[in-house]
Amino acid sequence: MIVGKLKNQEEGCRKMQKEKRMLQAHILKEQGFKQHEIAEMLCVTDRTVRNYLTSEPCQRKKRKYSSKLDKYKEYIRHIIEDKPYYNCVLLLERLQKMGYEGRISILRDYVAKIRKKIITEAVIRFETEPGYQAQVDWKDFGKQYVDGKYQKLYAFLMGLGFSRKGFIYFTTSMKQSVLHGCHVKAFKYFGGVPGEILYDNMKTAFVCDSEGNFYPNRKLLGFAHHYGFTPKRCMVRRPQTKGKVERFIGYMLGNFWPRIEGADLTLDYLNEKVMHWLKYIDEKPVGELLESRKGRFSQEKPYLQSLPVITFDSRDIHEVYVNRESYITFETNRYSVPPEFIGESLTLKVNYMMLMGTN
């Protein structure tokens, strides 16, 4: 056994010497020495030098190290491509059910590596021109104690593609009229309208035909025509197309939301605080751009389209009946109307932004 090890070591030494001489032969050839001169310098035959020069110097093979994560890497990449900010603890639980026995530190290192690559690729591929595109999405916070009662809480987010300047507005509804109302607030906040707005899978924005094709619904088309932008739907399972607003949501959850933890929540309080936070982050440089949102927005704002003089009427329309007591009922609430309308059907236009206490 010892003899065998010694033979292997000797063989390894011979290979190393040969590789060294081969490399020296190539270097001497580049320096202008002739074949017989190189043979004399290396103390080998002309034929050996000729063989050296007709072959490429061997490169030492790097040792490949296996990882307990190897067979799960394709699955992990698929998850992170779909959701770049997927929680590593939850991902670890999924992998453990599949048989993974490694540590979370290895998983976190790999996720950080591919996340950076995916985001960088997305930034390069989907960088937009000033004023060209904004991305829109909702964040669902589930039921929260807001304005004195438990109710659903949502955040509307719009981010400009070039500058990354963002707008956030908290609501307790995602109705289409609220969606439009939030758009108007965002346009006023930016002081203009982008040429194109990219949406996720919103039922209040797009409808699907019998063949599975998606189109903007009539109300969104009317709204978009009024403000002069083109509504687009992002590709399914392609996070790169909406990556900017996805990162904006992640930033809000990690940086803004913890700041209000434990506070008595009201819509007015949330929307006041988030406006201060938006101004705060506008001054900070964006990682992949090495510029601040404020600086980039100064370049982008001149390319935004002007706001129309008349604000679009986004109110919801309902048909209501006036009872003999001269009242109408809407969403369990009763409202009085002039007695001359008793027994008639009336058209009720509802501004849900005002019903939520926001205007």
What is the tens place of the pLDDT at every residue in 183-209? Answer: 999 999 999 999 999 998 788 888 887
Residue 59 lies in a domain: no
Q: Encode pLDDT of 78-110 as tens digits.
A: 888 777 788 889 999 999 999 998 888 899 999
Same domain, 189 and 85: no
Confidence check: pLDDT of 122 > 70: no
**For range 61-82, the mean pLDDT:** 78
CATH of the domain at 228: 3.30.420.10
Confidence check: pLDDT of 356 > 70: no
Neighbour-count burial for 121-142, b at 16+ CB within 10 Å, e otherwise? ebbeebebebbbbbbbbbbebe
Crossing angle for the helix pair 73-82 and 88-97, to the nearest 10 degrees: 140
Crossing angle for the helix pair 104-125 and 73-82, to the nearest 10 degrees: 50
Same domain, 182 and 220: yes
**For range 197-223, the mean pLDDT:** 85
Per-range mean pLDDT, top range of 32-36, 197-201, 295-299: 295-299
Rounded Cα distance, 239 and 122, in Å? 8
Residue 264 lies in a domain: yes
Rounded Cα distance, 180 and 191, in Å? 16
What are the helix (H) ranges across 147-292?
A: 176-190, 218-227, 243-251, 267-282
Mean pLDDT, the chain, rounded, equals 83
Residue 58 lies in a domain: no
Q: Is 167 helix (H, G, I), strand (E, B) or coil?
A: strand
Confidence check: pLDDT of 62 > 70: no
Same domain, 162 and 273: yes
Q: Encode pLDDT of 145-181 as tens digits.
A: 999 999 999 999 999 999 999 999 999 999 999 999 9
For residues 119 and 206, the model is more confident at 206
pLDDT value of position 341? 82
Same domain, 199 and 258: yes
Same domain, 143 and 236: yes
Same domain, 322 and 299: no
Beta-bridged to residue 134, according to DSSP, are 160, 197
**For range 304-318, the mean pLDDT:** 87
CATH of the domain at 14: 1.10.10
DSSP characters for 75-142? HHHHHHHH-TT--HHHHHHHHHHTT--S-HHHHHHHHHHHHHHHHHHHHHHT---TTTEEEEEEEEEE
**For range 331-348, the mean pLDDT:** 80
Q: Is 195 helix (H, G, I), strand (E, B) or coil?
A: coil
Same domain, 85 and 191: no
**For range 293-304, the mean pLDDT:** 95
Same domain, 182 and 111: no
Residue 267 near residue 94 (C-beta atoms within 8 A) = no
Per-range mean pLDDT, top range of 69-73, 248-252, 271-275: 271-275
**Global model pTM greater than 0.75:** no
Residue 340 lies in a domain: yes
Q: Is the Cα dihedral 335, 340, 346, 349 positive or negative?
A: negative
Phi, psi of 346 (to 5 degrees): -120, 160
- Split at pLDDT 50, 70, 90, the class of 15 is low
pLDDT value of position 126? 56
For residues 312 and 353, the model is more confident at 312
Q: Which domain holds residue 269?
A: 133-303
For residues 156 and 359, the model is more confident at 156
- Closest C-alpha to 118, from 158, 76, 150: 76
- Closest C-alpha to 244, from 252, 347, 148, 8: 252
Confidence check: pLDDT of 20 > 80: no
**For range 54-62, the mean pLDDT:** 58
Residue 260 lies in a domain: yes
Residue 189 lies in a domain: yes
Same domain, 14 and 155: no
Domain count across the chain: 4
For residues 335 and 130, the model is more confident at 130
Same domain, 96 and 191: no
Residue 151 near residue 355 (C-beta atoms within 8 A) = no
Write out the two tokens for 325: 């007591």
Residue 346 near residue 323 (C-beta atoms within 8 A) = no
Same domain, 120 and 137: no
- Closest C-alpha to 166, from 282, 51, 259: 282
- Split at pLDDT 50, 70, 90, the class of 136 is very high
Confidence check: pLDDT of 3 > 70: no
DSSP characters for 322-359? --TTSEEEETTEEEE--GGGTT-EEEEEE-HHHHTT--
- Split at pLDDT 50, 70, 90, the class of 138 is very high
Residue 91 near residue 111 (C-beta atoms within 8 A) = yes
Query: Could you tell me what percent of the chain has a pLDDT over 90?
Result: 38
- Split at pLDDT 50, 70, 90, the class of 239 is very low
Q: Is 235 helix (H, G, I), strand (E, B) or coil?
A: coil
Q: How many CB atoms neighbour CB 290 within 10 A?
A: 7
Rounded Cα distance, 220 and 198, in Å? 12
Same domain, 276 and 172: yes
Q: Encode pLDDT of 241-270 as tens digits.
A: 567 888 899 899 999 999 998 889 999 999
**For range 318-323, the mean pLDDT:** 82
List Cα–Cα distances, 231 to 118, 204, 206, in angstroms.
26, 12, 9
Residue 262 lies in a domain: yes
